[in-house]
Structure 1
Amino acid sequence: MFYQDLSKLSGQEGKGWVNAKHMNKSSQTENNENTDFKVPLFQYWYLNQAYSKEMHLIESKYGVNIESDVFVLIKSNSHQSIKDDNLSKAREDFQVLVQKIATNLDCISIPHSHLESDIVKETMKHIQTDKARMILSMSAEDCKLLAPQQQASMVARRLGVGRKEDRSESDFSKTARHLIMDEKDPQLSSELSMSQIHWDLIRITHEKEIEDIINNFGVVFQSSEPSPGTVKVTVQPRRENFEDLKIHALRALTHLYQKVAMATVTCTMRSPAPESIVQTKEIIHSGHPFVGIEEKNGSYRLVGLPVHLGPAVTEVEKILSHPVFHDKEKQMTGYYESEESKAIKMDDGEEETCPICMDHFKTKEKLICGHGFCRECVWRSVESMGPICPVCKKVFGKVEGNQPDGTMNTYVSVSKLQGFPDCNTIVIDYSIPNGIQTEKHPNPGKRYYGTKRQAYLPDNEEGRHVLRLLKRAFDQKLIFTVGTSRTTGRDDSVTWNDIHHKTSRYGGPQRYGYPDPDYLKRVKEELKAKGIE
């Protein structure tokens, strides 16, 4: 196919000759400083790629440079008649086209060792689209990418190849971004509205994800308060020539907001006395930074993720020495009553109800954690959430995720991780190929983009224990999922599934690397939340 495209470009279909360089005799001096002759374009391209060593040998042997140029001949099509001035107009249009791309074209060399990298795979996918305007050729020596300077420079920076000036720090980012920007999504503007509580939770509990979006897409987030309790978040590019990136940044922020909003629970105070409200605010502000308190129509409630809200509710009621919040909402936070709070609990006279349907029990089922539900309700919960108690989140069965099929391989490297100078390094290689989404994924029947990831653990007792846990999680399809990539903003991509990995040997937590003294402890807690312990 590539050969055919070059043949068509040359104006021939396989064996014709193109005016590769016009025989300009006036350019040749008597001592023959320049020697020009015609070579078919597709043949020269082949020589330049497949016989580059032989060409270099000729250059070094005789002290010359072999350079190429093209003489383009525009002539009338014999199959149809044309106007007299059409040839000159065609030449002018062609010259405009050449001038348009000539100053914005670059070529970089890609070693074969980089062909399996994510950026090369992404580049090859984009080459197949009309918008890409890129050519990738492969030879025994290396690969050549011919592309607009912006795309070529970005690929060079990501791979650490190409000319030094192509990897200038003045370019806005060394991190991931799309090679070819999508057209603006008509469903997305440049702003997102949400409650003040949700925006605070996103910034506090997902600080790293927000930082990733800002760095990866070269944007800044600006917030304003159009009305009390409501925040409007706008996305602004840091540079004018990256205007389209704000659409991807907003898409990633929207995905993060939806994730937080769906996980957030509330716990309403029931008929609180003014002094109880003051004390509750003091307790929350002083000891629970991940929990918010808001007032709406005279009603006060705590807002946060269950893992943070449960302990906050427990502490408030313990300090105030009486029940403060509605029982049904407390159960949804994973709240555990102490013996003291049970003793002082007021008798509301409420009948026992299912925490899911909030109705009388119908064929009550009690889980191993002690919480009870209607049999039909808990079955529906298992179908949507897996075998996890909806109240306390304790796993009562084997959780299986929607991770696509792939492989997990490990080996031990003699190199050391920062913070672990006395042991070797466990290297984990994950490989998830491209595939088609199933009914378990966001868009069944649609193609998803696979990934290759490498992670690192210390080769000590605790590191090997974490490796065994990660292997179980991988076998239960929990390591990856299909969604929106946090690094590129691309939908239908295989992404991490909230079990954090160290993908760099260096750089500390901010670079997903070592040293990070608490990492092994944290990842074990993340695995435990999914029933892996």
Structure 2
Amino acid sequence: MEKRIQTFCNKNKLGDVGRVRSGDPGSWVITFKNEKAAKEILSMKSIRLEDYGDVKISDAGLTHQATVRDTQQSLDDKMGKSQDNQLGSSMSLPNQVRSDTPNLNQGGGTALDKGMRIQQGRDQGATAAVDQDFSLSTPGRPAVMGATSPQRKIHDIKLDTISLPLHHYDYISKMYEREIQVICDKYKVDLCPEVKLSVRAQGHFSVKKAQDEYSKIFQEVIPNLEKRSIPFPPDVKDEMPKILAKYSKLMADKVKDGYSLTGPRQEIDCAEGEVWRAVHRSEQEKNSGSKFLDEGFDINPFHCHVLRLEFAAELIDIENKYKVLINFHDKDSDMKRLCIKSPLGSSSMVRQALEVLISFYQTVGTNMVMVHLERGADLEAVVKAWHTVRSKYRNMFVENSRMFSLAGMKETVVEAVNELHAMLGRKVFQEVPGLGKWSDVKISKQAGGNMDDQDNKCPICLDFMKNKKTLQCKHSFCTSCIEMALTNRNCCPICQTVFGSMQGNQPDGTMSQHILQSSLPGFNCPTIVIKYDIPDGIQQRCHPNPGQRFTGTSRTAYLPNNREGQHVMKLLKKAFHLKHIFTVGTSITSGQKDVVTWNDIHHKTSQYGGPQSFGYPDPGYLSRVCDELKAKGIV
């Protein structure tokens, strides 16, 4: 009121208002700083104020004071009835309504000591002979009832006037629009928001029932309603629309340095948690991890070559899934650099793609090998033989600048070397630790012998099979060849059929679980909480740097405690036992080497936030993680 009167005085050049205080119900007493302004106001008799309409001016009986009264006339003015026919009671709800809010329709003059009071009208329990109207008005603004239509039958109905703070009405009107529309359709009433909210009915008792149900929504919502200001740094401002989109009953207003959120306390808590997680991620990117994400990481040239050719389909899948581009650049003559960029500018998607790619690279990189010629080998003869068979090994890397070397996946290198040895009639490549000895060369059979019986040749050594062994997929090999191949990867070298479960290189640790009674977004069941603990230790032969220390980790993950979640939990236990959950490598966040990181099996490490925050809701997660486990033979 003071602001509206001051605005009016400024427009009419009447000077500053001293102060405005409440007088009698529906009136305000104004104290002016000069007599001229007071006289000017009194001479106007009535003025129009924004939000209040026409108000009457009268002399308050004191110097430099005037009384402003709302000119919205009472029922006796509008209808020719006595003041005794005013509504029986009104309810005033302060800004913070507690959880013990009573029914909005109850009468009585009880004063509640927890943020609510009920004010009785002049005629307690009076019956209003009106046209089934009731009114919701904001505090300090008396409700005005419409005139009775002479064509309608007048019913004696006991009515309440409900007064509520404007921001409460604003919130309920926007966030519960659908529910309120159901009430209007059900009881054939109209809500007419002005300065007040009136319900004009056509039925006998529909007003009362509509009031009851509207009040029920109010009673259920307001006790848990909260308004909270949350700081929001500019560098994560793009995250706020994504966060708000997840919470249907949350209303946000932009304020200085952040947002003012109004809604259920639980949703505000969740949204605030996501805001701080977004800020935390931003800080991490600014610090240790941002350089690593921006600049990429170095990779051996022959590893780069094999990745691009042997695993081109897998790289394309990562690009499509995370909407990123994977590029390889020349750093210098000895190293390549692998970089990931997002055309959409999403650092979170780059982070996830980089995590998957590093994990994939660590897995396949341990099966890559390079072999060199022995000293004194006939380089010209080796190169000539290679040109004869190279069409079969297009994905292999050949280094021919200083000395002839072959690089690729272990199985392919073994196959190529044995074929070259057979063609040359002698061993020319150095043996590599971990690959065993090259197969014995049988010149008589390979150089000029009978080559018709291809079914009796081992696909690995290309020699006639010794101690033939046939796998379940019906492919046959030398026993020694297939045993060596299966130690590297537990699947058929030809058709890639997995046999049993492959053993991973996860360090020793513990896995535990417990149940939370709260539900994950998208599920209506308790939550399984998984705890992993991998202590610091020494790297073994299966790790990138055997003998060096590695830094352990503790991680928490979440699953729904329903049938699908329990099935995934069972598979994860099996994967942990087979050492597939973690590996030792480079941290995606900090770029630190020799630390325990996630392997190819993705976990939800947050309860909220969706896929971009490694949380829920994510409808396809449970099926995806089952596919990842199946690829390792875990079913």
| TM-score for the superposition, normalised by structure 1 | 0.44
Structure scoring higher RCO (CA < 8 A, sep ≥ 6) equals: 1
Between structure 1 and structure 2, the one with the greater Rg is 2
Taking structure 2 as the reference length, the TM-score comes to: 0.38
